[in-house]
């Protein structure tokens, strides 16, 4: 499983929106890498921001 899959899995398993730090802690992926992956996911519209600096998977 690559880092992107780990980040997506972390979002799927979470019941609440997460910030990059929390995603990093839960997935075990470095925060710098999480930031990069989240930027891609935002661009692809895989995740959205329900509140400032927190993200969740689009249903």
Question: What CATH number corresponds to the domain at position 16?
Answer: 1.10.10.10
- pLDDT tens for 21-49 read 999 999 999 999 999 999 999 999 999 99
Radius of gyration of the chain (CA): 10
What is the model's pTM? 0.92
- Beta-strand ranges (E) seen in the chain are 47-51, 54-57
Q: Domain span at residue 45?
A: 3-57
The pLDDT of residue 59 is above 90: no
- 14: CB partners within 8 A, 6+ apart: 26, 56
pLDDT above 90: percentage of residues in the chain: 97
φ, ψ of residue 44 to 5 degrees: the values are -80, -5
- 48: CB partners within 8 A, 6+ apart: 42, 55, 56, 58
Q: How many domains does the chain have?
A: 1
User: Sorting pLDDT into bands at 50, 70 and 90, what band is 10?
Assistant: very high
pLDDT of residue 44: 96
The pLDDT of residue 3 is above 90: yes
């Amino acid at each position: 499983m690559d880092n992107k899959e780990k980040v997506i899995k972390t979002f799927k398993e979470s019941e609440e929106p997460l910030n990059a730090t929390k995603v990093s802690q839960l997935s075990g992926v470095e925060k710098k890498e999480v930031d990069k992956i989240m930027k891609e996911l935002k661009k692809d519209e895989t995740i959205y921001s329900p509140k400032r600096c927190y993200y969740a998977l689009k249903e």
